């Protein structure tokens, strides 16, 4: 994996869990990780009713194209009845393999909004990365046992997934292929924030056990240096 190229972070397809205490900075770091991905990205945000975003928040900027952003409330992401979900069918494929059938069943169990994001993915590669910010707001709505099958369905049926968790890490993170935690800093002092890699890549700066300042992580510094 190149230290300055983010596309390889999500190839082959994988799931990434990014946690930390500063919501605004987390969103900017997530954007930096996916912005150069050659398949693009789709961004979903779980927004509370009446939520007021900080001026420094990525979601208040103009860098996210409207057609790539889907904003929903936590209640809209509650799993729905399987029969009701059958009508969506955004990922129906002609394959007959058992794996394809299993993936489709998992897909039908996902909330409608998740299905909508996956159904926008092109049939061929490269696939966009699915980003979900504000994911910590779903903790009270989903049992931990639902985390792993949902992630598997998204990655196997669609594309890579990046979950942004603005809270302390939870046990459900262990279902992800890659686990990152951001400590300290804020959008104005982002260079001093430290990214800790609990479970990382086989090579490059984001190997398992690495701790690196954002200012020293070129794939993030290049994006935040221009935006901030």
Pick the most confident of 54-58, 90-94, 159-163, 173-177.
Answer: 173-177
d(CA 170, CA 178): 14
- Say yes or no to pLDDT of 227 above 70: no
pTM for the whole thing? 0.78
What is the CB neighbour count within 10 angstroms for residue 6? 21
d(CA 24, CA 57): 5
- Per-residue pLDDT, 29: 95
- Per-residue pLDDT, 213: 95
Q: Which of 36, 77, 32 has its CA nearest to residue 58?
A: 32
Q: Domain boundaries in the chain?
A: 8-15+34-47+63-168, 178-228
Strand partners of residue 201: 207
- Say yes or no to pLDDT of 76 above 80: no
Return the higher-pLDDT residue of 145 and 209.
209
Indicate the pLDDT class of residue 123, thresholds 50, 70 and 90. Answer: low
State the Cα torsion 13-19-24-28 to the nearest 10°. -30
Indicate the pLDDT class of residue 220, thresholds 50, 70 and 90. Answer: very high
- Say yes or no to pLDDT of 8 above 50: yes
Instruction: Express each pLDDT in 149-204 by its tens digit.
Output: 778 777 876 678 999 999 988 888 999 999 999 998 766 789 999 999 999 999 88
Instruction: Express each pLDDT in 24-49 by its tens digit.
Output: 899 999 999 998 888 888 888 888 87
- Per-residue pLDDT, 30: 95
Evaluate whether 40 touches 120 at the Cβ level (below 8 Å): no
- Per-residue pLDDT, 198: 97
């Amino acid at each position: 994996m190149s230290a300055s190229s983010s596309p390889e972070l999500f190839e082959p397809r994988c799931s990434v869990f990014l946690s930390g205490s500063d919501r605004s900075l987390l969103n900017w770091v997530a954007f930096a990780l996916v912005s150069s991905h050659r398949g693009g990205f789709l961004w979903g945000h779980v927004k509370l009713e009446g939520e007021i975003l900080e001026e420094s928040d990525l979601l208040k900027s103009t860098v996210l194209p409207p057609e790539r952003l889907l904003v929903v409330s936590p209640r809209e992401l509650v799993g729905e009845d399987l029969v009701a979900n059958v009508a969506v069918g955004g990922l129906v494929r002609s394959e007959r393999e058992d794996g394809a059938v299993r993936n489709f069943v998992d897909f039908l169990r996902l909330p409608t909004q998740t299905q909508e994001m996956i159904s926008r993915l092109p049939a061929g590669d490269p696939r966009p990365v699915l980003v979900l910010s504000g994911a910590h707001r779903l903790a009270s709505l989903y049992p931990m046992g639902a985390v792993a099958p949902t992630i598997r369905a998204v990655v196997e049926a669609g594309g890579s997934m990046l979950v942004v968790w603005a809270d302390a890490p939870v046990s459900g993170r262990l279902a992800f292929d890659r686990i990152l935690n951001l400590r300290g800093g804020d959008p104005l002092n982002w260079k001093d924030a430290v990214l800790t890699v609990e479970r990382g890549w086989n090579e490059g700066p984001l190997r398992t056990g690495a701790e690196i300042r954002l200012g020293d992580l070129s794939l993030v510094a290049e994006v935040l240096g221009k935006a901030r």
